[in-house]
Amino acid sequence: MANYLGRVTSADVSGSTGESHIRLSLSYKTLAGPSSIDAMLAAATLDPSVVWRDVAFRQGTRPDRLRLQLQLLYDRRNQIAHEGDWDFVQLDFRIVAQVHLADCVRYGTELAQAMDAIL
């Protein structure tokens, strides 16, 4: 398990806080965050910083803001996919508001369309 998670040791996952270490490490697992997009762009022999810059210009913002917003969306996605959307502090499910969902879909769609136009 520790090898798969990559951020913890065997002692971490087998200790008294093992479940928390596993949950934390799984919350970072994603195959589609900004760094994964960078790896894909680099594999296609494109300069990720240039692509993010050009997409940011098209969106009227800065590259760091685009990347941060996307990372926040993927973090939220990971809460849903890897944690069952369960809040381990409040011992209840997290609330998903329709307006938040619509905002996430809009952002993802606009980012994908801008990347498609640039690439």
Give the pLDDT confidence score for residue 47 in this predicted structure: 97
Quick one: tokens of 65? 């803001």
Number of domains in the chain: 2
Question: 52 pLDDT band (50/70/90 cuts)?
Answer: very high
Q: Are residues 50 and 25 in the same domain?
A: no
Mean pLDDT, range 77-82, rounded to an integer: 83
Q: Are residues 47 and 70 in the same domain?
A: yes
Q: What is the pTM of this model?
A: 0.71
DSSP 8-state symbol, 86: E
Q: Are residues 46 and 12 in the same domain?
A: no
Beta pairing, strands 92-93 & 86-87: antiparallel
Give the pLDDT confidence score for residue 109 in this predicted structure: 95
The string of pLDDT tens digits covering residues 26-35 is 776 666 789 8
Q: Are residues 14 and 45 in the same domain?
A: no
Residues 6+ apart with CB under 8 A from 63: 49, 52, 53, 55, 56
Give the pLDDT confidence score for residue 54 in this predicted structure: 98
